[in-house]
Structure formats: C-alpha cells, structure tokens
Amino acid sequence: MTASPHLFTPLTLRGLQTRNRIVISPMCQYSAHEGHVDDWHLVNLGRFAIGGAGIDFTEATAVQKRGRITHGCPGLWTDSQIPGHARLAQFALRNGAIPAIQLGHAGRKGGMQRPWFGNGPLNEADFERGDMPWTPVGPSDLPVAEGWPVPHALSVTEIGNLIDDYVSAARRALMAGYRIAEIHGAHGYLVHSFLSPLSNKRTDSYGGDLAGRMRLALEIAQAVREAWPDDLPLFFRTSAVDGVPDGWSLEDTVVLAGELKRIGVDVMDCSSGGIAGAATASGGQKRQPGFQVGYSERVRTEVSMNTMAVGLITHPQQAEEILAQGRADLIAIGREALVDPMWALHAARSLGYDTLYETWPEQSGWWLAGREKTSDFYDPEAVT
C-alpha cells in the first residue's frame, strides 16, 4: 500500500468503524415477494460487500404493508420477514461491510408500477399481472399528479401508529443484524411529503409552518433513536431541495439537520427531488457529476454533522476530492456500483492504496498478486 487516501480512511460512527468511506446507496430491486427478500437480494448486496464497500445499504424497506412503493418492495412489518434480512446482514458483516437498512414508507407513491412496467400508477396490464392497487396515504388528499390515486390523509391516531411501526421495523432490523438504520425522508415518499409545503396542506400540528411540517420526521427520528442501540448510528436521507418554486429549500434542510442532530441522528444523507418531476433528483437540476454534493457541503459546514454525498459520483479521484475538500464524510455510490460491483476495490487500486490486491478478498487476492508478478498481459497496442 503506497498512499493513504481519504476514501480509505476509516470513519468512526458511535461504536462502529467503517473500513473506508464508500457506501452502496440504497437501490430498490422491485423483486421481493409479499415483502420478503430472497436470493436475488443476497447475491445483489453480497457482490458489493465482496467488492469492498464500507457500508452496504439494503433498499427502501417498508415499515407498513401499504408503505411499499411497488408490489416488489421488501418490508419489515412482520416477523416472518426477519430471516431473509438476516442472511443479507450476516453475509455483508462476514465480508467486511457494515450492513445498513433504509426504513421507509412510500406514502402517496405507494402501490405504483415497477419501473420497467412504466413507473406510473398501476394500470390494467399490471392488474393482469396480479399487481392490484391499494389506497395510498399522505399528509393530505393530494395525489402525486393527475391520474394518480387520491391518498387518504392520515389522522393523528394513524400517525401515532405509523411511528410505532417505524420503531417495530427498526427493532426487527436490529434482530436481523443490521448495524445502521436510515430513515428515508427523501424522494417524495411519506416523510418527505410531510416536510414539503407542496404536498402537506394540513392545518393541524403536523402541517402549516416549518415546525409543523418537520414534526413527523422528528418524531419518527426520536422514536427510532430511542429504540436503536446507543452504540449504533442512525442516518437520515433527505431531499435537500424540491427544486420547485415555493417547495422545500436548502435553508429548510439546514434547520431540519440541526434538529435531527440534536435528537442523535449521526449522518445526513443528502439527495434531492421527488415531490415533483424525477424521483431522485430535484426539478430543473441538471444531472452532472456530483450535482448534489453542494447540499452535503452546506449541511456539513452549517450544522457540523457528518454528511453523505450522493449523485453521479463515479470516479475514485472525484470521490477523493469531495472528501479532501471537506464536502462530505461518506460517498454513496449508486448506479456506478451496478456497472462495477467491485468499485471500491478498483478505487483502492487506482488511488494507489492497493498495489498488489492486498485489500481484495483472500479467495482472489492471493492469486491475482501472483499473476501480477509472474505474467505478461496481452497488449493490443503491441506490434506483432
């Protein structure tokens, strides 16, 4: 090993230490059965753990059955879902990655099409496949857009039950062996839809001004924090901006982050968008390299808390610079990990941290080091 890049400097979060700063961002697979994960999820997440990631996130996992985004989304609303998750968590842990889970509720986006069938509200073709609609819930009876189902506006009693279900799901996640929990407060789903003035038109104590709209997020965070062990970290994913006039703003995010920090949230995971337009990036925002890093930087600077940057971070040098410039503490890799599940191991080599496959799994590193020392490789440039 020749260098000590920031990307491979461990981070201590409460009683945990990550092996590096690379996080596999939560990515829905739409492939669960009645909310149960299976071998697909094990192999999918397993490849990232073998691939050297520091933290390996299981996708948005519903705390209530009606909180699934699609019929293929996993859950932790009942005990029978724990063993499947336990396999994912144990495999990651055994292979050096910290298993993490994102706990979510789809809210008014609940019961939509799997992306490859259209990414819109369910239609006749989905019904024929057996994907029947359910009544989604939200802060108000405002649909996502025209043609989407009208959500049931949650009563205060139902909000109380929802918070209890977050706590129960967190307890199940802990039983399964996850070491990090993240509250999904982004992308237009339930928690975000309470935060945003575009979707929250309530006139009771869960709506109105910023404090009212933040109340659900803070009550969930507080309740989960109390249930989650003191020595384990809690993350919160935010849509830092709606990117739409009169929507949720970066200033609002800074206030929210401050409150979450006070409650004991350890990392603010800074995404954007989802209330209007694209699901995981703010409206009008051009998707260019590191397009959301500025949100992470602002929260990190103004709130003095750990942040995670996400969004088109694809190159090891790019990730290294973000950390070196103090713009984030963790780097989440999403789609690029689908291109290269061993992104972290390749990054170690390209940053000079690993010269002879020392950081690779022992099952392969030993052989590859030997090959490197003893073999010539095909060179397409060579003249024959």
User: Footprint of ligand FMN on this chain (CB under 6 A)?
Assistant: 25-28, 59-60, 102, 184, 186-187, 237, 271, 280, 310-313, 333-336
Closer to ligand FMN at the Cβ: 154 or 186? 186
CB 296 within 8 A of CB 329: no
Closer to ligand FMN at the Cβ: 207 or 330? 330
CB 268 within 8 A of CB 233: no
Closest residue to ligand FMN, Cβ-based? 334
Q: Check 166, 189, 206, 295 and give the catalytic one.
A: 189
Rounded CA-CA distance 120/113 in Å is 5
How many CB atoms neighbour CB 338 within 10 A?
Answer: 14
Q: What is the DSSP string of 150-218?
A: PPEEPPHHHHHHHHHHHHHHHHHHHHHT-SEEEEEE-TTSHHHHHH-TTT----STTSSSHHHHHHHHH
* Smallest separation, CB 19 to ligand FMN (Å): 20
Rounded CA-CA distance 193/195 in Å is 5
Q: CA neighbours within 13 Å on the CB side: how many for 378?
A: 1
* Smallest separation, CB 315 to ligand FMN (Å): 11
* Smallest separation, CB 347 to ligand FMN (Å): 13
Closer to ligand FMN at the Cβ: 25 or 200? 25
Identify the burial level of 382 via C-beta atoms within 10 angstroms of its C-beta, where 0-12 means exposed, 13-18 middle and 19 or more buried: exposed
SS3 of residue 312 by DSSP? coil
Closer to ligand FMN at the Cβ: 84 or 207? 84
Q: Which two tokens stand for residue 73?
A: 């989304």
Q: Which residues of 47-77 are buried (b: 16+ CB within 10 A; e: fewer)?
A: bbbbbbbbbbbbbbbbbbebbbbbbbbbbbb
Closer to ligand FMN at the Cβ: 216 or 293? 293
* Smallest separation, CB 226 to ligand FMN (Å): 23
Q: Which two tokens stand for residue 145?
A: 């857009």
* Smallest separation, CB 45 to ligand FMN (Å): 12
Closer to ligand FMN at the Cβ: 19 or 187? 187
Tell me, yes or no, if 295 is annotated catalytic.
no
Rounded CA-CA distance 299/329 in Å is 11
Residue 180 sits at φ, ψ, to 5 deg, of -130, 135
- Measured over the CA atoms of residue 163, residue 282, residue 258 and residue 329, the dihedral's sign is positive
* Smallest separation, CB 263 to ligand FMN (Å): 20
Question: Which residue numbers are catalytic?
Answer: 189
